[in-house]
Amino acid sequence: MGTVATTQSASPIDSARRKRLGQYFTGIRLARLLAYLADARKAKSIIDPMSGDGDMIEACFQAGAKPEIAVGIEIDPLVHRRVSSRFDNIPENKIHLVCGNSFSRKVLSSAPAMSYDLVITNPPYVRYQSLSRGTNGDVNVPDGITIRNDLFKTVELFPSLDEEDRRLFRLLIESYSGLSDLAVPSWLLCAMLTRVGGILAMVVPEAWLSRDYAQIIQYLLLRWFKIRYVIEDCNATWFKDALVKTTLVIAERIKRRDSAFSWNDEGFLLAQVLSEATDQSSIVGQLFSADPNPEVRFSELLRTQSAKRQGKPGDLLNLTWIPLKQKAEDLKRSASRTSWLSRLEGGLSSKQTDVSTNEDIVQPVIPPTLAAWLGTDCHTPFVSPAQLGIKIGQGLRTGANQFFYVDALRTVGNALIATPDRIIGLETVSLPSDCVLPVLRRQSELPKRFRLDATALKGRVLVLNRYVLPEDAGVLSSEEHNWQHRLQLMPDELAQFVRRGGQTNVGTSEEPKYIQNMSAVKTNARKINHNRPTSSPRFWYMLPEFTPRHRPALFVARVNYGHPKTYINAPERVLIDANFSTLWLDQGATISPFALLAILNSSWCMATMELTGTVMGGGALKLEAAHLRRLPIPKLTSAQWNAFEKLGSELSQGQEIAPVLAAIDQLVVRVMFGNGVPHDKREALDTIRQRELMKRTAPR
């Protein structure tokens, strides 16, 4: 079979259209690497069910594939027409390009086969919000319900599934979350298309490793596949317009295992590739700069290390051997209370899952890199923050920061002179001191030390729950629960400011959007509840009551350019903006905020955050509450928590930070391995932490 005529798109597709359809085309460099790793040259039948620009099929040809049949399915007619001309020199009986929805039974049935040696694809990145709407312009994109129903109808078509497989796949299709993006049903479709002994090769967002909705996919891989390699884009540079870190997954289809949790000594290689390993022609070109075909050399290296079951550290490439048993145990902990897991595994008892019986408790997950560092010498169990009584959420969302946030200038008597946002059009405003509270709004306001100082903050949030505009007071009668005892009329200057703020246009002249009519602000309004005599009315300018997540004990930035740094709040419990994830202790918690401050700033927790957070374009690490809820914290004795509390107190005082952090790391490692732990164990943990930071912040 000849080579493909061109590697470039014939004409550009409108960027807005691409975004609507989740079209982040793979590019020939990345597709070629995946084709070599998937051993495409051996495949007699190949399919890309979401073929896009056709890069995957072309890459297979470039990798030496000579299939009897190659199939590409693409939903966008503009892209399909363009791709059809790309393969003009391939005999028509060798390649079938179909325009349509690959989840549709009718479209799938039009393909020449329903089972393939190689299924290789980059599913469109369409979020569940878009799937709930369906059609995008001239492309008939199915909604999430239609996709689920179509998948369910196609299960019987696949010869790679026996009757028990079909029953279990129907359970998987019924069970995946409605919050899933399109990658989850794509995994299910591609798995069913892969014959036993065939290869599944996928380009997927990093989230497939960490999101709750991806647990079903992890289960699918552990029960019907043997993972060979996971290749990680350390610096989020493979898809610059997508701004997320990406992974390649290569797995061999096997006969269904009796259980997803029956793995013993098998494993796979995790290959972390830095951006410096890439050159103009190859994702791994700089690793083998003297070789004309670096993808071949890279594949050989992975096969060699996989046979040895060994990792291999390096500056541009880090290889880690990950036991599948560890992956299975992590899944068992994290998904143990889901109904679908019990149905698929015939029921798992609490003893089998070794977890708390509280269904609301999230289980800790140890990243593979740290699991390899722990090895077999660590016998300390791990718990999640929830199991310690630690609550995690997000800070304050006002819905209109331009109005609710001001900068404090000075105090004059019982009034605060403040500067509003420039969009309000006022240089200063005089506010009653009792209607503002200090707030931490952004990272630029953070102190150098680990403890927040309320007196250093200029930000203030308007708290107008005790004040009412005169015109709003006019609609209330004195009979309505004597509201005057709880609300007072705004002073003139405050009232003028509120009126002006409410009528401020934050939209455009063509499409105006006034602050008081914004969807996130309108919901502040609340009528009197006549069944609750103590209730007060609320108007758009009154924020809902603050809760512990708004005034937490500790907090950490959601977007981090350096290592995630956890801070302890000021004694006054300052309000913290939604730019931060927040942590507070439940009433029954027995640990102190200072102890938590210490352990969250340990190399163990920082390395975990680095490995589980989402790396974004530019090297930023996005750390959400969902990531923090799965932090594996060593199960400590009261004496050990007391030791951490002492170190956390020292850390909060801001003097001689480096020795305190070193002492925290020493204590963490000693807890895990005992007093006789080698010194290089702590150094190795510190290296992992620093390496992860270097990988995501290295120059592009």
- Domain boundary assignment for the chain: 15-355, 385-395+548-697, 401-522
Q: What angle do CA 208, 210, 212 make, to 5 degrees?
A: 90
- As given in the structure block, the two tokens for residue 34 are 């995946």
pLDDT at 22: 42
Q: Confidence class of residue 5 from pLDDT cuts 50, 70 and 90? A: very low
Which one of 21-35, 232-246, 638-652 scores highest in mean pLDDT?
638-652
Greatest Cα pair distance, the chain, in angstroms, is 88
> Would you place residue 353 in the very low, low, confident or very high pLDDT band (cuts 50, 70, 90)?
very low
What residue has token string 């290959």? 271
Q: Give the pLDDT of residue 333.
A: 75
Q: Using CA atoms, how far apart are residues 33 and 283, in angstroms rounded to an integer?
A: 7
The residue written with tokens 């040696």 in the block is: 117
The residue among 587, 602, 582 whose CA lies nearest residue 651 is: 602
Tell me: pLDDT of 160 over 80.
Answer: yes
Q: Where are the beta strands (DSSP E) in 296-440?
A: 317-323, 382-383, 390-394, 405-412, 415-419, 429-432, 436-440
| Bridge partner residues of 417 (DSSP) | 410, 430
Average pLDDT of the residues in 495-521: 93
| Segment 97-111 mean pLDDT | 93
Read off the pLDDT band of 377 (50, 70, 90): confident
Q: Is residue 7 predicted with pLDDT exceeding 60? A: no
Cross-strand pairs, 429: 418
The Cα–Cα gap between 700 and 698 comes to: 6
Average pLDDT over residues 199-210: 79
pLDDT(347) > 50 = yes
What pLDDT shows up at residue 118?
A: 98
Strands 621-622, 429-432: pairing kind: unpaired
pLDDT confidence of residue 685:
93
| Measured distance CA(193)–CA(200) in Å, rounded | 9
Has residue 460 got a pLDDT over 50?
yes
Q: Which of 166, 167, 199, 172 has the alpha carbon at shortest distance from 185?
A: 172
CA distance 651 to 30: 45
Beta bridge partners of 392: 583
> What is the pLDDT, as a whole number, of residue 211?
63
Q: Which residue type sits at 430?
A: S
* Rg of the chain, C-alpha, whole Å: 28
Q: Is the pLDDT of residue 149 over 80?
A: yes
The two tokens of residue 674 are 């005992």
Q: Which of 476, 469, 483, 465 is nearest to 532 (CA)?
A: 483
105: pLDDT strictly greater than 60:
yes
Nearest-angstrom CA–CA distance, 485 and 481: 9
Residue 489 zone, left/alpha/beta (φ > 0; ψ -120 to 50; rest): beta
Cβ-proximal residues to 25 (8 Å cutoff; 6+ apart), any chain: 9, 52, 53, 55, 122
Q: Let me know if 297 is exposed, middle or buried by CB neighbors in 10 A (0-12, 13-18, 19+).
A: middle
- Residue the block writes with tokens 């070794």: 354
* pLDDT at site 3: 32
Task: Return the axis-axis angle of helices 679-697 and 603-612, rounded to nearest 10°.
Answer: 40
Domain spanning 15-355, CATH class: alpha beta
The pTM assigned to this predicted structure is 0.72
Mean per-residue pLDDT of the chain: 86
Whether 26 has a pLDDT exceeding 60, the answer reads: no
Exposed / middle / buried, residue 93 (Cβ in 10 Å: 0-12, 13-18, 19+): exposed
Q: pLDDT-based confidence at 473, cuts 50/70/90?
A: confident
Highest mean predicted confidence (pLDDT) among 251-260, 368-377, 610-619: 251-260
For residue 531, the model assigns a pLDDT of 65
At 245 the pLDDT is 74
CB contact set of 212 (below 8 Å; sequence gap of 6+): 177, 334, 626
pLDDT of residue 142 exceeding 50: yes
DSSP type of residue 404: H
Is the per-residue pLDDT at 619 higher than 90? no
Task: Say if residue 191's pLDDT is above 90.
Answer: yes
Orientation of helix 144-154 relative to helix 183-193, angle to 10° = 10
Position 695 scores a pLDDT of 80
Position 475 scores a pLDDT of 63
pLDDT score recorded for residue 89: 77
Q: Which residues contact 179 (CB under 8 A, 6 or more apart)?
A: 128, 213
Total residue count of the chain as it appears in this document: 700
pLDDT at 9: 38
User: What ranges in 213-312 are assigned the alpha helix state H?
Assistant: 215-224, 294-308
